[in-house]
Structure 1
Amino acid sequence: MLGFRDPVADAISLLEPRTVIGPNLRAVGEWALRFDTFLHVRIGGLVRGTCWLILEGHEPVLLHAGDTFMLGNPPPYVLASTLDATPRPAEPVWAGADDGLVRIGQESEDDLYLCVGHIGFDEQNAALLTDLLPPLVVVRAADPRGLELGQLIALLAAEVRVAAAGGPLVQNHLAQVLLVHMLRAHAGQTDRPTGWLGALNDDGIGTALRAVHADVAHSWTLNELAEMSHMSRSAFAQSFKKHVGVPPLEYLIQWRMSLARDALARDTMSISELARATGYQSESAFSTAFRRVVGSSPRQFRNLARKPEPASAGSAVSPP
């Protein structure tokens, strides 16, 4: 049986996040760093000072101490002291880090102090999250969630500088907690459909979503989910699509296939067992649904996932 808890925990578990935090940046004077495009999520915040975040296709954003930002599959961007500063590539600057710190200019009590990190996900399921995110989310220090996010950034920055036992583990967990809080903040900032993330803020739709995740093998019907949400069928279907972006039963199928892809890649159960665990009465019905969503049969997908990936010199995560 596939065991799950709630949509956020389930999705992050399937995403298998890999975090690379730091180095921190301390800078004074005029400076600008240009970062290349990248996959998945970068997250960071200012512990002290101010700087500009300049993302292609967006208005420049002036960040202040305590502000936190999240970038989802963004185009190239620049962090700079002023809008007039000429950017230089960030990678060689980051490569010169010393003890978890990159310094630009002489040390000063008034210098900027920035903490940034990269969170990468399993490619098979990355779209569960990245499809929900805009290129840029900013949470100000004065926002309802700003204080707790600022505290998390400060903790993360401190962990990067201290070579203590268990440091990488602490950084990884803090980064994931920061990610969840940023996702909650984003869901509260927008009126657009934000998938399972935004739907959790709605009592009725959130109840149905949690029920689906708690028992994915159940043969859910639109009537059952609507009754659980204390709505009529039509009102539930309309509200669900407004919040999540797809109809209820289509969401159910997509989530089942996400779980199936993960189980097949891990080769943890037979296809017939997996069919029953994801709510299908027969292996053929499961295979038909899997092929429609994924584009290959379960056996083809599993056989391909079993093949060892060739070693790649470029597999390391790039600097934030």
Structure 2
Amino acid sequence: MLGFQDPVADAISLLRPRTVIGPSLKAAGKWALNFDPFLHVRIGGLVRGTCWLIVEGQEPVRLHEGDTFMLGNPPPYVLASTLDASPRPAAPVLAGAEDGYVRIGPESEENLYLCVGHITFDDRNAALLTDLLPPLVIVRLDDAHGGRLAQLIDLLASEVGVTAAGGPLVQNHLAQILLVHMLRAHAAQTDRPTGWLGALNEDGIGAALRAVHADVAHSWSLKELAEISNMSRSAFAHAFKRHVGVPPLEYLIQWRMSLARDALARDTQSLSELARATGYMSESAFSTAFRRVVGSSPAQFRNHVKKPAHSGAQET
């Protein structure tokens, strides 16, 4: 059976996150670093001090101790002590990291400690999240979710440079917990459609999303989902599209195809098994739906994702 019971856990599982923590930044004096665009999400927080975050195309943001930020597929951006500091490329500076830290200025005068993590996802399903995120999300310490996020940043920072057994595992789990809490904060802040992030809010729409994810093979009707949400069909359909961004049954199809892409990439089921697992009575019906959403047949998609494995390239 594909899918579980929680849309957030399901989606993050499909994203197959890979986490790189740091290097963290400790700085003193006047400085500025220019970062190139990157994929997919970077999360950071100020353990100590203040600095400016300047994302291309947006107003500069002053970050204070305890504030947390998330960058989603961002354009170039700058971190700086002051707005008039001349930025230098970040990459060579980061390459000089030691024990998980980059230091700028005299160690005895350090007044800034910034902890960051970079989370990348499986490219086949990365859009599940990146399409829902703005380039920048800021959560202030005094926001509803701010205190919890600041605690997580402190915990993550305490693991940087630690050589104790299990350190990378702890860092990876903390970063993913931080991601979930950051997504909750974003879902609470925004008035734009949030896709499966809508399930982070305990409401009728969330109940319908959880039901779909718990049994993706079920032949769901608008009437059934509306009843689960304790709404009329018209009210449910309107609310679902407003919160999630697509009609309920279109969301169901898109989620089924996300699961199908992942299963085809891992080549764990035959097409007939996959059709049944995603709620289709026949392989033909499944193939038609897959082609409409993905743009190729299931067989073509599976053959395409297999090609790198036979190219002779070595994994690192």
Q: Deviations over 1:123-166 (max 9, x none)?
A: 00000000110000000011111111111111111111211111
Partner residue of 2:247?
A: 247
Counterpart amino acid of residue 213 in structure 1:
H
d(CA) in 1 for partners of 2:105, 2:152: 26
Q: CA deviation at 1:4?
A: 1.2
Residue 311 to residue 149, structure 1, CA distance change in 2 (3 Å):
farther
Q: Please list, as runs of the form range in 1=range in 2, the aligned pairs for 1:226-265 lying within 5 A after superposition.
A: 226-265=226-265
Q: Normalising by the residue count of structure 1, what TM-score does the alignment of the two structures yield?
A: 0.96
SS state of the match for residue 210, structure 1? helix
Q: Is the 8 A contact 2:4 2:214 kept in 1?
A: yes
Q: Which runs of 5+ in 2 are unaligned?
A: none
Kept in 2: contact 1:200–1:209 (CA 8 A): no
Tell me the secondary structure at the aligned position of residue 161 of structure 1.
coil
Please state whether the residue corresponding to 2:70 is helix, strand or coil.
Answer: strand
- Equivalent residues of 2:52, 2:83 under 8 A apart: yes
2:180 aligns to what? Answer: 180
Residue 79 of structure 2 corresponds to residue 76 of structure 1: no
**What SS does structure 2 have at the residue aligned with 1:308?**
helix
Which amino acid counterpart does residue 291 of structure 1 have in structure 2?
Answer: R
Equivalent residue of 2:224, what SS? helix
The CA deviation at 1:214 is 0.1
Structure 1 letter corresponding to 2:63? L
In structure 2, C-alpha distance between the alignment counterparts of 1:59 and 1:253, rounded to whole Å: 38
Distance 2:251 2:209 in 1: 9
Equivalent residue number for residue 141 of structure 2: 141
Report if the CA contact (8 A) 2:41-2:71 is conserved.
yes
Tell me the secondary structure at the aligned position of residue 62 of structure 1: strand
Q: Is the 1:21–1:171 Cα contact (8 Å) retained in structure 2? A: yes
Q: Paired residue for 1:272?
A: 272
Residues paired across the two proteins, number: 315
Code of the residue aligned with 1:161 in structure 2: it is G
Partner Cα distance (1:157, 1:280) in 2: 47
The runs of at least 4 consecutive aligned structure 1 residues that moved more than 4 Å come to 309-313
Instruction: For 1:164 and 1:78, locate their aligned partners in 2 and report how far apart those are by CA, in whole Å.
Output: 33
CA contact (8 A) 1:45 1:69 kept: yes
Instruction: Provide the residue aligned with 1:91 in structure 2.
Output: 91
* Cα pair distance change 1:283/1:188, threshold 3 Å: same
1:274-294 per-residue CA deviation (whole Å, 9 max, x = no partner) reads: 000000011100000000000
Q: Is the 8 A contact 1:53 1:63 kept in 2?
A: yes
After TM superposition, the structure 1 = structure 2 runs for residues 1-320 of structure 1, keeping only pairs within 5 Å, are 1-108=1-108, 111-309=111-309, 310=311
The answer to whether the 8 A contact 1:156-1:175 is kept is yes
Query: Tell me, what secondary structure is at the counterpart of 1:108?
Result: helix
Contact 1:240 1:248 in 2 (8 A): yes
Q: Say what the alpha-carbon RMSD is for the aligned residues.
A: 1.4
2: distance between equivalents of 1:27 and 1:120?
26
Q: CA deviation at 1:307?
A: 1.8
Matches of 1:39 and 1:81 in 2, distance apart? 25
**Residues in 1 aligned to 2:303 and 2:178: alpha-carbon distance in whole angstroms:** 36
SS of the residue 2:160 aligns to: helix
1:111, distance to aligned residue in structure 2 (A): 1.4
